[in-house]
Structure 1
Amino acid sequence: MTETLAAEFSNTSPVSIEVLLLRILGALLLCGVIGLEREIRKNTAGIRTNMLIGLAATVFTLVTLQMMKTLGDGDTTRMDPVRLVEAVTSGIAFLAAGVIVYTKGSVRGLTTGASMWLSAAIGLSVGMGMWVVAVAATVTGIIVLWLLRETEIAAGIKSDDDRDL
C-alpha cells in the first residue's frame, strides 16, 4: 500500500513543482490586478472572481500539459490541445453571460464579462509558461480598463456614474 501511495504522489509533471507553483501564483497575481480594477469600479466580478478564473485556466492548462506528456505517445492517443482553449473560452463565456444584463434599453456588464474572458486568457498563457504574453495582456487590459475609461470621462463621453456600460 505504501508503494501505491508513493507512486500516486510521485507522478512526474511536465514542469517542476517550483515552476508549477510559480505559474499558479503568477496567474493569481496577474488576474488579481484585473480584478482589482473591477473591484475599484464596484463591478460584480472583482478580485476573487478574476483570480479564480485565472487559477482555473492555469490548472486546466497544466492538466492538459500532463495529459499530453503521459497519454500523447501518438500511437494510442490523438491529442488536440486547441480543445483546451475552446473549453476554457466556452466556460468563461457562460460565466460572463451571467454578469451581462439588458434593462430599459441599455446593456450593463459587458466590460466586466470581457475582463473575465481576459483573465481566462491570462491564466491560459501563464499555464503554458507564456509570461510575456500574460504580462503584456495584463498591462494592456489595465490600460483599456482604466486609462481609456479616464479618457472617456475627461472627454465627456461617459460620466463617472456610468459603471460598466
Structure 2
Amino acid sequence: MITDLLLRVALAGFLGGLIGLERQLRAKEAGLRTHILVGIGSALFMIVSKYGFADILNESHVGLDPSRIAAQVVSGMGFLGAGTIIIQKQVVKGLTTAAGLWVTAAIGLVIGSGLYEIGIYGALMTLVVLEVFRQLGNHLLGHHHSMLIRLLPESVPGVLVTLQKLRLKPGYLSVVQHENDSEVCEMTMELTLRPKQEISDVYAQVQQISGVRFIDIR
C-alpha cells in the first residue's frame, strides 16, 4: 500500500513536470518546478483525503466526507492561477498557463486517487492541446507578438509606414519618452502576424529604419 502511494506522488509530479517543461520552453510565467509541485501537492491532498483519517473512522461518532479536502484544491488553485495572469497595456497574458496549472492539479488529484490511466491520458491530452493546437492555431490564425522599440521621435512615422507596407496593424500602440534618455522614446505595440508570416522579416524591416536604437520582440 505504501509503495503504491509513493508511486502515485511520483507519477503526479512527473506528469505535471511534462506540462511544466512545455511552459518553460515557451518562457511562460509558471514553469517546470511550479507544475511539478502542483502535481505532487494535489496528489498528496487526494491521498490524505482518501486515507489520512483511517485511524478515527472506527469511532462511532465520527463521520467523514473523503471528497472535502480534494474539493478545496480546485478552488485553491484559483489563487495560484491568478498569480500567473498579467494585465499589461490592456492585454491579458498568462491565461493558458493558469489553465495548465488548473489541469495539472486535476491530474494530481486523479493520480492520487489511483486512476492511473485517466491521469496519464489527461496529461497527454494537455500536451497535445498546448503544443499541437498552438502550432495549428499559428498556421491557420496567425500568431501574436509584443514589440518594444527604442528610437528617435522622428523615426516613429517610418515604423508605422513600414508596418503598413507589411500589412500589419499594430494594436495597443503607445509612444513614451525613455526614462533614462530624453532624446529617445519607447514605442510599444501588439502585433498579430498573418499565417506563414515570419517575425524575423518584421524585425529586419524595422531594424533598417534610421533612428531605431533597440528592438525587443516577444
SS in structure 1 at match of 2:134: helix
Amino acid at match of 2:31: G
Q: Once the two structures are aligned, what percentage of the paired residues are identical?
A: 35
Deviation string, structure 1 residues 7-46 (Cα, Å, up to 9, x no partner): xxxxxxxxx1211221111011111111111011111111
Rounded to whole Å, the distance in 2 between the matches of 1:72 and 1:101 is 45
Structure 2 unaligned residues grouped into runs of 5+: 147-190, 192-218
Q: 1:37 & 1:58 partners in 2: Cα distance?
A: 21
In structure 2, what is the equivalent of residue 101 of structure 1?
86
Please state whether the residue corresponding to 1:80 is helix, strand or coil: coil
Contact 2:49–2:68 under 8 Å retained in 1: no
CA distance in 1, matches of 2:98, 2:10: 23
Name the counterpart of 1:22: 7
Structure 2 length-normalised TM:
0.63
Structure with more helix by fraction = 1
Instruction: State the structure with bigger RCO (CA 8 A, min sep 6), 1 or 2.
Output: 1
1:62 is displaced (CA, Å) by: 1.3
Query: How far apart in 1 are the matches of 2:126 and 2:98?
Result: 13
**Which one has the largest radius of gyration?**
2
Question: Could you tell me which of 102, 114, 117 is aligned with 1:132?
Answer: 117
Instruction: Classify the secondary structure of the residue corresponding to 1:43.
Output: coil
Q: Is the 2:23–2:32 contact (alpha carbons within 8 Å) kept by the matching residues of 1?
A: yes
Q: Deviations over 1:102-157 (max 9, x none)?
A: 22221101000010011111110111111111011101101111110000111133
Amino acid in the other structure paired with 1:24:
V
How many angstroms does 1:68 deviate by?
4.2
**Distance in 2 of aligned mates of 1:54 and 1:115:** 11
Structure 1 residue ranges without an equivalent (≥5)? 1-15
Return the alpha-carbon distance in structure 2 between the equivalents of residues 141 and 85 of structure 1. 21
Across the aligned residues of Structure 1 and Structure 2, the Cα RMSD in angstroms comes to: 1.8
More strand per residue: 2
Q: CA deviation at 1:80?
A: 1.6
Equivalent residues of 2:30, 2:97 under 8 A apart:
yes
Pick aligned residue for 2:130 from 124, 135, 145: 145
